[in-house]
Amino acid sequence: MSDLLGDLHGRPVVRRARADDLPALVASSAALFAEDAGTRDATVDIGWPLAHGAERFASGLDDPARLLLVAERDGEVVAHLAGAVAEGSAVRPVKVATLLSLYVRPAHRGTRTGARLVAAFLDWAREQGAGQAEVTAYAANEDAIRFYERHGFGPRTLTLGQAL
């Protein structure tokens, strides 16, 4: 899943992650945790990617039910996307592809890198036979919500929470 046109136009190349991308995936995930959950959810351990990310990402490299993509420019990973697909259940008998995480370094935002990662995820989801794609975002993250809505996602459920 290479996007060589990205390289021809000076944009990052979107491709599947490899084992040598693990440090960059961990760094990208850590940046996402710090920027998103770190500013919106005090219950999230923002150190999780540094402690467990390499193991989690490594286990997904060869798992056909998981997708790990990177966007690379000049040999440097500038964005990542992680996704998974799961079979339906008796209650909800549809295969669902979930976009688990997406992060684009601030200097590369506005370059359609995120859009290209999402398009690759949706193509993969269709190839896996998914009938539904979903993503979650913090309600306070209006930029992320607008981004995902521009790419065809819309609200389906709402989770309400209360600190105890």
- Of residues 161 and 22, more confidence is placed in 22
What is the topology classification, in CATH, of domain 4-150? Aminopeptidase (3.40.630)
The model's pTM is 0.89
pLDDT tens column, 89-146? 899 899 999 999 999 999 999 999 999 999 999 999 999 999 999 999 988 899 999 9
pLDDT for 41 equals 87
**What is the pLDDT, as a whole number, of residue 7?**
59
Q: What percent of the chain has pLDDT over 90?
A: 76
Domain borders along the chain are: 4-150
pLDDT tens, residue by residue, 34-46 = 999 888 888 899 9
Instruction: For residue 16, list its beta bridge partners.
Output: 69
Q: Taking the CB of residue 128, how many other CB atoms lie within 10 A of it?
A: 16
Separation in Å, CA 143 to CA 74, 147, 162, 163:
27, 6, 23, 24
Place of tokens 């150190």: 47
Q: How many CA atoms lie within 13 A of 52 on its CB side?
A: 6
**9: which 2 tokens?**
């136009």
Cβ within 8 Å of residue 65, ≥6 positions away: 84, 85, 86, 128
Q: What is the C-alpha to C-alpha distance for residues 113 and 147, in angstroms, rounded to an integer? A: 12
